[in-house]
Structure 1
Amino acid sequence: MKIRILFIVFIIGSSGIISGASDTLFYQAFRDIVISNYPLIRKANLNEDISEAFLLKGRGALDSKFAGYYDRKRFDNKDYFTTWQSQLKIPTRLPVDLALGYENNDGEFLNPENSVPDYGLMYGTININLLRGLIFDDQRYNLRNAELKGIKSQIERDLMIREILFQANLSYLDWSASYQKSLLYEQYLNTISDRHQNIIQLFENGDNPAIDTVESRVNLNTAIDKYLQASKNLMYKRQKLELFIWDEEGNPLAIDNEIIPETPDTVIIVFEDISQLPVPVFENDPIIRKVANKIEQLSLENKLESENLKPALDVKFNTLVNIGNNDFSPLYSANDYKLGIGFEMPLQNRKTRGQLDLNKAMIGQLEWDQLLYRQKLQNDYTRLGNSISLNQRILANAQLKVNNSEQLYQAEVFKFELGESSVFLLNQRERKYLEARLEELSAVKDLGQDFNDLYYLKLGQEVQ
Structure 2
Amino acid sequence: MQLKIKNNITILLVLLSICMFNYSFGQNTVFTYDEYLGFVKKFHPLVKIANLEISQAQANLLQARGAFDPKIEADFNSKNFKGNSYYSIFNGTFKIPTWYGIELKAAFENNEGLYLNPEQSLPNSGLTSVGITIPVLQGLVINQRMADLRKAKSQIKLSQAEQKMQAIEVLYEASLAYFNWKKNYDEVKLYEAYLKNAEIRLNGVQKLIEQGDKPAIDSVEAGITLKNRQLNLEESRFKLLKSKLELANFLWTTDNLPLELDDQLVPDVSLQESISASLKTNGLQLSNFSLDNHPKINALETKIELLSIDKKLKANMLLPKLDVGYSYISEPTYFSNYRFQDNKIGINAYFPIFLRKERGALKLAKQKIQAQEFELSLAKIQLTNKVKAQQNEINTVAKQKNIISELVAANTALLNAEEKLFNAGESSLFLINTRENNLVSAQLNKISIENRFLQSHVELFKTLANPD
TM score, norm. by length of structure 1: 0.90
> Counterparts in 2 of 1:215-226, with a 5 A limit?
215-226=221-232
Q: Distance in 1 between matches of 2:180 and 2:237?
A: 13
Q: Distance in 2 between matches of 1:207 and 1:443?
A: 42
Letter in 2 for 1:267: L
Indicate the SS of the match to 1:136. Answer: coil
Indicate the SS of the match to 1:105. Answer: strand
What is the aligned counterpart of 1:200 among 183, 203, 206? 206
Letter in 2 for 1:361: Q
Indicate the SS of the match to 2:339. Answer: strand
Letter in 1 for 2:314: E
Letter in 2 for 1:272: S
Identity %, equivalent residues: 30
Q: Could you tell me which residue of structure 1 aligns to residue 192 of structure 2?
A: 186
Letter in 1 for 2:271: V
Indicate the SS of the match to 1:224. Answer: helix
Q: Distance in 1 between matches of 2:52 and 2:401?
A: 42
Q: Could you tell me which residue of structure 2 aligns to residue 361 of structure 1?
A: 367
TM score, norm. by length of structure 2: 0.89
Q: Could you tell me which residue of structure 1 aligns to residue 272 of structure 2?
A: 268
Shift in Å, 1:289? 2.6
Whether 1:314 aligns to 2:323 is: yes
Shift in Å, 1:157? 1.4
Q: Could you tell me which residue of structure 2 aligns to residue 402 of structure 1?
A: 408
C-alpha offsets along residues 376-421 of structure 1, whole Å, 9 cap, x if unaligned? 2112111111111111111111111222222222222222222222
Q: Distance in 1 between matches of 2:229 and 2:85?
A: 106
Moved more, 275-284 or 56-65: 275-284
Indicate the SS of the match to 1:124. Answer: strand
> Counterparts in 2 of 1:109-258, with a 5 A limit?
109-258=115-264
Shift in Å, 1:330? 5.6
2:387 and 2:464 in contact (8 A); partners too = no
2:321 and 2:351 in contact (8 A); partners too = yes
1:310 and 1:346 in contact (8 A); partners too = no
Whether 1:372 aligns to 2:378 is: yes
Q: Could you tell me which residue of structure 1 aligns to residue 457 of structure 2?
A: 451
1:315 and 1:340 in contact (8 A); partners too = yes
1:101 and 1:122 in contact (8 A); partners too = yes
Letter in 2 for 1:365: A
Letter in 2 for 1:425: L
Shift in Å, 1:204? 2.5
C-alpha offsets along residues 18-66 of structure 1, whole Å, 9 cap, x if unaligned? xxx8622111221111122212122222123112212111111111110
Moved more, 230-239 or 30-39: 30-39
C-alpha offsets along residues 138-184 of structure 1, whole Å, 9 cap, x if unaligned? 22111112112222222221121110011111111111111011100
Q: Distance in 2 between matches of 1:140 and 1:250?
A: 40
Moved more, 278-287 or 221-230: 278-287
Q: Distance in 2 between matches of 1:29 and 1:392?
A: 25
Q: Could you tell me which residue of structure 2 aligns to residue 278 of structure 1?
A: 287
Displaced runs of 4+ in structure 1, greater than 4 A? Answer: 328-331
Structure 2 residue runs without a partner (length 5+):
1-26
Indicate the SS of the match to 1:248. Answer: coil
Q: Distance in 2 between matches of 1:22 and 1:183?
A: 13
Whether 1:303 aligns to 2:307 is: no
Indicate the SS of the match to 1:87. Answer: strand
Letter in 2 for 1:335: Q
Q: Distance in 2 between matches of 1:312 and 1:329?
A: 33
Shift in Å, 1:329? 7.5
1:320 and 1:332 in contact (8 A); partners too = no
C-alpha offsets along residues 282-314 of structure 1, whole Å, 9 cap, x if unaligned? 243333333322222222112111111111111
Q: Number of residue pairs matched?
A: 437
Letter in 2 for 1:317: Y
Shift in Å, 1:129? 0.9
C-alpha offsets along residues 408-450 of structure 1, whole Å, 9 cap, x if unaligned? 2222222222222210111122122222222222221111111
Indicate the SS of the match to 2:214. Answer: coil
Shift in Å, 1:459? 2.2
Indicate the SS of the match to 1:293. Answer: helix
2:317 and 2:358 in contact (8 A); partners too = yes
Indicate the SS of the match to 2:443. Answer: helix
Structure 1 residue runs without a partner (length 5+):
1-20
> Counterparts in 2 of 1:399-438, with a 5 A limit?
399-438=405-444
Q: Could you tell me which residue of structure 2 aligns to residue 36 of structure 1?
A: 42
Alignment root-mean-square deviation, CA: 1.8
C-alpha offsets along residues 175-200 of structure 1, whole Å, 9 cap, x if unaligned? 11110111001101110111012112
Shift in Å, 1:262? 0.7
